[in-house]
Amino acid sequence: MSAETTRGRLTRGVKAALLDTMRKTPVAEKTSHAAPVARGGRRDMSFASLPAYQQLSTQRGLSDALGLSFPFYRTHDARAGAGSVIDGQKVVNFASYDYLGLNGHPEITRAVAAATEQWGTSVSASRITAGERGFHHDLERALADIYDAEASLVFVSGHATAISTIAALLGPKDLILHDSLIHNCVVVGAQLCGATRRSFPHNDMDALSDILAATRDRFERVLIVSEGLYSMDGDGPDLARLADIKEQFDCWLMVDDAHALGILGTTGRGIFEMADVDPKRIDIWLGTLSKTLVSCGGYVAGSRVLIDYLKLTAPGMVYSVGLPAPAAVAALTAIQLMQREPERVARLQANGQRFLHKAREAKLDVGTSWGYAVTPVVVGDSLRTILLADRLLKRGYNAFPIVPPGVPEQSARLRFFISSEHTAEDIDGAVAATREELTQLEQAGTSLGTMAKLMMAKIRS
């Protein structure tokens, strides 16, 4: 039993927070960012006084009251790919970035073992001070070649790659225009660099063009940021139109291809290959090593001048340790396997299309998904979404629930990551189970609103 409940009952603090939530007045909006004043005039500096923690306590208390297991940070007992083991139960896993089934591939593990034996597990300092290694150059050359770029640069964190790149390139006199559904790493980078930040509606090129027509002349440099494949919706941009717009208004264009590399295009080179757009028209290619490339870290690819500049100015490069040999060699070997075995990409794309077709056939809301590696099942109600995920897990299917603020209000969803290693039986079974369990929840009228009324009555009694 969690600390938020006592003998099956919600504690006073959780009850109060839960009432706030049920009245549709988020705790974070009602609570000042200043530390609350406790008895005796002293300020409450406990971490438990943080508004976000109070919201988390509310969620945990509600989960306990409903008999649900907390869906975040579950412990896996085996290597996770198309399948996994959670709490001793084998599951078909739809919550893994291992799109091409390369995690644990014998060729990769052998290469990593050899690299570790030769180079150790760390480069021991930042590359600017401790120097570079041949595996850095080999990986960066392979990544640059994917995008027909002059050079690339790898960082130890994918999230920090975007932040560091944006921080190095833009400042208070500049403008960042990003898709409204852009990843958090871009938002944080834009906030920290001091540039003006505006979003445009998802994949709305006309709106982007209108914003630039009205505001471009007020800024020195402008960066447009989009993703190649959106991880919450499974769709992507009109890349040719994006390139046209950036050229028309003299902007930089950054494309985060983290979820597109290995997924889109005949050979998995990403959104530009699928869209048949010259990758040199994009100024900055951004991506991660943690998805198709089954490693950890991030990369930027582009012109030689861009990469030389970032090597000397990007905070996440200059002030952070360099990528270690095991991570670099794992990613490099994964690239080689992807290029040598294009049938993995074809199998992934076929599986993605099968899931999309079956889900639509079952009248599940898949939004605007293209049906490749990522397809959501949009439920809408947050509680119903979490209950659906819990029921599916009990039936042997692991699909992660995404609720606000991760997605807009009333668009909570289960997110299905498809792998080249999923079978037709895996996909068909997951879709059928999702339809059955969702229908039961809908027929029962289960929702956050109805549950709130019941819980409020219980709390007040």
Looking at per-residue confidence, does 174 or 406 come out higher?
174
* CB-CB contact of 231 with 256 (8 Å): no
Would you state the pLDDT for residue 35? 66
Q: Is the pLDDT of residue 29 over 80?
A: no
Would you state the pLDDT for residue 451? 66
Looking at per-residue confidence, does 404 or 276 come out higher?
276
**What is the band of 64 on the pLDDT scale with cuts at 50, 70, 90?**
confident
CA 356 to chain CA mean position, Å: 20
Please tell me what DSSP assigns to residue 381: -
**What is the band of 51 on the pLDDT scale with cuts at 50, 70, 90?**
confident
Give the global pTM.
Answer: 0.88
* Element containing residue 174 per DSSP (H, E): none
Would you state the pLDDT for residue 453? 64
Under DSSP, is residue 224 helix (H, G, I), strand (E, B) or coil?
strand
Average pLDDT over residues 307-325: 95
- Give the contacts of 256 (CB within 8 A, at least 6 positions apart): 162, 182, 183, 185, 186, 225, 226, 227, 228, 286, 287
Average pLDDT over residues 82-111: 96
Looking at per-residue confidence, does 164 or 406 come out higher?
164
Domain 106-340 has CATH 3.90.1750.10: no
Q: Is the dihedral of CA 153, 158, 161, 162 positive or negative?
A: positive
Cis peptide before 405 (omega within 30 of 0): yes
Helix axes 239-248, 205-215, angle to 10 degrees: 10
* Element containing residue 376 per DSSP (H, E): strand 374-380
Q: Is the pLDDT of residue 146 over 90?
A: yes
Looking at per-residue confidence, does 20 or 54 come out higher?
54
Average pLDDT over residues 39-55: 83
Give residue limits of the domains in the chain.
5-67, 83-97+343-451, 106-340
Q: How far apart, in Å, do the first and last CA atoms of the chain sit?
A: 22
Would you state the pLDDT for residue 94? 97
* CB-CB contact of 132 with 139 (8 Å): no
Would you state the pLDDT for residue 30? 40
**What is the band of 53 on the pLDDT scale with cuts at 50, 70, 90?**
confident
| pLDDT, mean over the chain | 90
CATH class of 83-97+343-451: alpha beta
Average pLDDT over residues 28-41: 57
The tokens for 250 are 């003299």
**What is the band of 454 on the pLDDT scale with cuts at 50, 70, 90?**
low
**What is the band of 8 on the pLDDT scale with cuts at 50, 70, 90?**
very low
Q: How many helices (H) and strands (E) does the chain have?
A: 18, 15
* CB-CB contact of 238 with 271 (8 Å): no
Looking at per-residue confidence, does 95 or 14 come out higher?
95
Would you state the pLDDT for residue 5? 40
Report the relative pairing of strands 222-227 and 252-256 from DSSP bridges. Answer: parallel
Average pLDDT over residues 43-68: 80
Q: Is the pLDDT of residue 39 over 70?
A: no
